[in-house]
Amino acid sequence: MRNDRVESGQRRREQRATGELSLQSNLSAVQAKGAMEKLVAAYNKTGGAQVKLNTVASEIYRTQLPTYLTSANPPDVYTWYAGSVADSYAKKGLLLDVSSVWEGLGNYPKAMQTLSTSSTGEKIFVPTSYYWWGMFYRKSNFAKWGVTPPKTWDEFLAVCKTIQSKGVPPIGIGLGDTPWVASAWFDYLNIRINGAPFHRDLLAGRGRFDDPKVKAVFTKWQEALPYFDPKGKSFPFQEATSALLGGKTGMFLIGTFFADSAPKDALDDIDFFQFPIIDPAVPVAEEAPTDGYFASKKAKDPEGVKKFMTWLATAEAQEIYVQSSSGTAIPANPDGKSADTPLVQKGKAMIESAAELTQFFNRDSSDALQPTADAALTKFLDKPDQIDKILKDWQAAAEKVFNA
């Protein structure tokens, strides 16, 4: 009886399987979209199920993802982020268990495995690339101003002071339209002062934003506030990138994706340094947002999906993507070759030597918590004397999201 039911279920699934998989992608930037098309074309030549790529503008994708996953006939495979944000969907029982894919991924680092495991212990995610955040600057400008990349917080403040004395705002930022960029400062200060485990607990709702340890992050941040570019409040990070490249700001804490909106010749003059160390006793953590894929639990052909995801996890597939995109992403597979520029090699080395990795504010919490951080952090940059009230409001707003 039970066997019968299983068999008929299988038959039904086979009938429904059309030999075609749908891949929903949020990589809508020109270069990334082209790279995805190449990737899918390469897989379709291997003779598995034919994959159909559907690219959606990233902002629409983010708001529609819950709808895709809960619909009656959802797309099969999705581009998304590893960590808490993927687990939040797994908790609702929406994601396919891809543990069998991971059987062949023994060479992946431990951190990637943890990021791809749901709170119930199933593997739900296949990472394919990651990138890093750093304090980017123009080598020629640093030489002109006579400063060298700082290692500690005090050295950093000294560099800021020197650059300011040359009449240039030392720290660039772009908060108009892209207020989430400020979260990088919060993330880094928190993991440098309180450490990555505290940071992750806080973002998962196991801590409080009005904790004195969180306040310490903001009092440290205050020391650097006079050096921020006042115009940064008005324009998005793309324009902050232009300001950095044009020598109108000294340094810019940003992820490597900024390179997508930078002219190629300027990139040769770009270098970065690690976010300064504040407390040497805290194990060094870096932000390394990991991108990849998960699949719907209702996938019409789970075996075909797993086969596709197994292929996506190979070094070969990841190299196809990295080579055709802007080239600053690093393959998740340790055997995959990243772009051979000194910048990428340096970034890769920094991430590999880190004791702990974090993702980014929204990825370590949820997309719903991000707006609460945006409001709190932009307000702090404007009214740094109101820390206590800001943190109280932030905690209240965060509780609302966690209880939603």
Partner 1 sequence: MTVAEAVTTSDRAAHQAGGGGDRRTKRAWKVSPLILAFVFVPFVVEAVWVFWPAMQGFWLALTKWDGLSAPTFVGLGNFKDMVSDPIFKTALKNTAIWLVLFGGLSVIGGFGMALLLQRERRGVGIYRAALFTPVVFSLVVTALIWRVFYQPDGLVDSVLRGVGLGDFIRPWLADPDTALYAVILPALWRQIGYVMVLYLAGLKAVDPALYEAAKVDGASAWQRTLYVTIPQLKGVNSVVLSVIVIDSLRSFDIVWSMTKGGPYHSSELLSTYMYSTAFQSTQLGYASAIAVVIFILALAVILGYLIRAFKEES
Residues making contact with partner 1 (CB under 8 A): 63, 66-67, 69-70, 89, 92, 94, 175-177, 179, 230-231, 233-235, 367-368, 370-372, 374-376, 378-379, 382, 393, 397, 400-401, 404
Q: How far apart are CA 399 and CA 326, in angstroms?
A: 38
Q: Which two tokens stand for residue 204?
A: 């998962």
**Which is closer to partner 1, CB of 333 or CB of 370?**
370
Shortest separation between residue 253's beta carbon and partner 1, angstroms: 19
Cβ-contact 258, 241 below 8 angstroms: yes
**Which is closer to partner 1, CB of 12 or CB of 91?**
91
Shortest separation between residue 390's beta carbon and partner 1, angstroms: 9
**Which is closer to partner 1, CB of 127 or CB of 232?**
232
Q: How far apart are CA 384 and CA 226, in angstroms?
A: 11
Q: Which two tokens stand for residue 229?
A: 């570019």
**Which is closer to partner 1, CB of 44 or CB of 238?**
238
CA distance readout (Å), 58 to 70, 87, 235, 295 = 19, 20, 20, 18
Q: Which two tokens stand for residue 293?
A: 């894929």
Q: How far apart are CA 278 and CA 285, in angstroms?
A: 12
Q: How far apart are CA 141 and CA 202, in angstroms?
A: 38
Shortest separation between residue 379's beta carbon and partner 1, angstroms: 4
Shortest separation between residue 366's beta carbon and partner 1, angstroms: 9
Cβ-contact 399, 210 below 8 angstroms: no
Shortest separation between residue 31's beta carbon and partner 1, angstroms: 24
Q: Which two tokens stand for residue 25?
A: 């992608």
**Which is closer to partner 1, CB of 245 or CB of 332?**
245
Shortest separation between residue 186's beta carbon and partner 1, angstroms: 14
The strands making up 20-25's β-sheet, listed across from edge to edge, are 50-55, 20-25, 77-81, 290-295, 126-130, 330-331
Whose tokens are 């991924």? That residue is 105
Q: How far apart are CA 148 and CA 201, in angstroms?
A: 35
Instruction: Look at residues 232, 218, 222, 223 and name the one whose alpha carbon lies nearest to residue 169.
Output: 232
Shortest separation between residue 62's beta carbon and partner 1, angstroms: 9
Q: How far apart are CA 323 and CA 321, in angstroms?
A: 6
Shortest separation between residue 47's beta carbon and partner 1, angstroms: 36
Instruction: Look at residues 154, 140, 152 and name the one whose alpha carbon lies nearest to residue 250.
Output: 140
DSSP structural state of residue 280: T
**Which is closer to partner 1, CB of 15 or CB of 63?**
63
Q: How far apart are CA 178 and CA 348, in angstroms?
A: 26
**Which is closer to partner 1, CB of 338 or CB of 370?**
370
The CB density around residue 34, as the number of other CB atoms within 10 Å, is: 13
**Which is closer to partner 1, CB of 33 or CB of 231?**
231
**Which is closer to partner 1, CB of 356 or CB of 393?**
393
Ramachandran region, residue 167 (left: φ > 0; alpha: ψ -120 to 50; beta: rest): left
**Which is closer to partner 1, CB of 214 or CB of 329?**
214
Beta strands in 161-208 (DSSP E): 171-172
Shortest separation between residue 274's beta carbon and partner 1, angstroms: 29
Shortest separation between residue 373's beta carbon and partner 1, angstroms: 11
